[in-house]
Amino acid sequence: MSKVCASTVEENLPRPGAISLREAFWFWLKLGFISFGGPAGQISIMHQELVERRRWISERRFLHALNYCMLLPGPEAQQLATYIGWLMHRTWGGVIAGGLFVLPSLFILIALSWMYIAFGEVPVVAGLFYGIKPAVTAIVVQAAHRIGSRALKNNWLWAMAAASFTAIFAFNVPFPLIVLGAALIGYVGGRLAPEKFRTGGHSAARKSFGPALIDDDTPSPEHARFSGLKLALLALIGAALWALPMGILTTLFGWEGTLTQMGWFFTKAALLTFGGAYAVLPYVYQGAVGHYGWLTPTQMIDGLALGETTPGPLIMVVAFVGFVGAYVLQVFGANQVFLAGAVAATLVTWFTFLPSFLFILAGGPLVESTHNELKFTAPLTGITAAVVGVILNLACFFGYHVLWPKGFSGSLDWPSALIAMAAAIALFRFKRGVIEVLIACAVAGLAVHLLR
């Protein structure tokens, strides 16, 4: 009876009123400071805020946009924010949403990178990291559960998630092959068994959260309709935004200059790697450490820890790579090492994220035109199911390195295990916020670290 009453109340909720660009600005700024937990955690936060709480967009439209972002190279959570901002407030809305998702993390990482490289290891910071790492593991598990519970609607999709987990965990199958396989299965399955590959219907979304500003049946706005002229203009603007800074760097430092090579390397990282930050990191590690020698393996690992514990996309670790490389190599001379690091961090962030904005602004109109066509949505539904398995693999990866830091041949790190368990209970049982859990676990980790 209570469920029926709750459903009736939610169905009778009024549709949210129009959202101004100013109101959206402050929301995206807030999101930039609270988007912890890697892409899975960030997508979970956006779903909770935009679909469940504010009802700016329906779950079906949210998942359709997410499916597209999962298909692209680059950070899917930042691309999803860009997409929703663009859908609500045109090009500037997308630029603001995507930019504010990144900028707080950039400024924080510049400051932390300077503290790290200038002052070395600090016991207090090490203790905080000790507690945060198991908390991040629990956050990723929670995010996998939240996304999976909504995306895996039947045994077919569950089987696809299990198959993708097995493929990447047991056989180390490259993520692009998993995406292509899932899209192919979704395409064929959408023709042979269409009812298995339909996204959640309009009634289900209303039953869960109430009517949304951009609902299942809301027509796409004028700016979200495909135009060949707009696409050509966007391609020219994008090419100019890449070529202008690259041309300046080549003129000032030559093609072999450190900053020029950083720009070129991270452009390739943005275009050639799929699967979000966790798929990009091995490529970045191989190039930045092995090929260019911009930083040491230990510094790369420490940078990853900083990236995990700051808001924004995990791929923002590229800002740490750029800062440390330019700082240590003194590209502006011995007296301007901080300036060199800050400029390099900003440049690599620009070259890493520029393609993401272009992909969304160029592809968004096509995606909007297909949100009710099964032949397009079925492959993307299959991709989402497969990605749930990939996220679960990521949770296992984190758990292994946090709980058994010396491998299975070593002993279980019991304090980390207890912190991870406490974080999971706080998230799943008591529904505590990500920030609260991270702060509490950081304090616990500091206490354990200092008492050892």
Number of other residues whose CB lies within 10 A of the CB of residue 242: 17
Residue 38 is predicted with a pLDDT of: 67
Asked if residues 402 and 413 have their Cβ atoms less than 8 Å apart, the reply is yes
Rounded Cα gap, residues 399 and 408, in angstroms: 12
Tell me the Ramachandran region of residue 311: left when phi exceeds 0, alpha when psi lies from -120 to 50, beta otherwise.
beta
Number of other residues whose CB lies within 10 A of the CB of residue 318: 31
Convert the pLDDT of each residue in 329-359 to its tens digit.
998 988 999 999 999 999 999 999 999 999 9
- Cα dist. 225→20, 58, 187, 229, 378 in Å? 21, 19, 24, 12, 21
| Average predicted confidence (pLDDT) for the chain | 84
Does the predicted model carry a pTM greater than 0.75?
no
Residue 264 is predicted with a pLDDT of: 96
Query: Would the pLDDT of 386 be above 90?
Result: no
Convert the pLDDT of each residue in 282-315 to its tens digit.
678 778 888 899 998 768 767 876 776 688 887 8
Tell me the Ramachandran region of residue 424: left when phi exceeds 0, alpha when psi lies from -120 to 50, beta otherwise.
alpha
More confident residue, 361 or 299: 361
Residue 226 is predicted with a pLDDT of: 83
More confident residue, 146 or 340: 340
- Which span out of 62-71, 74-83, 319-328 was modeled with the highest average pLDDT? 319-328
Residue 69 is predicted with a pLDDT of: 84
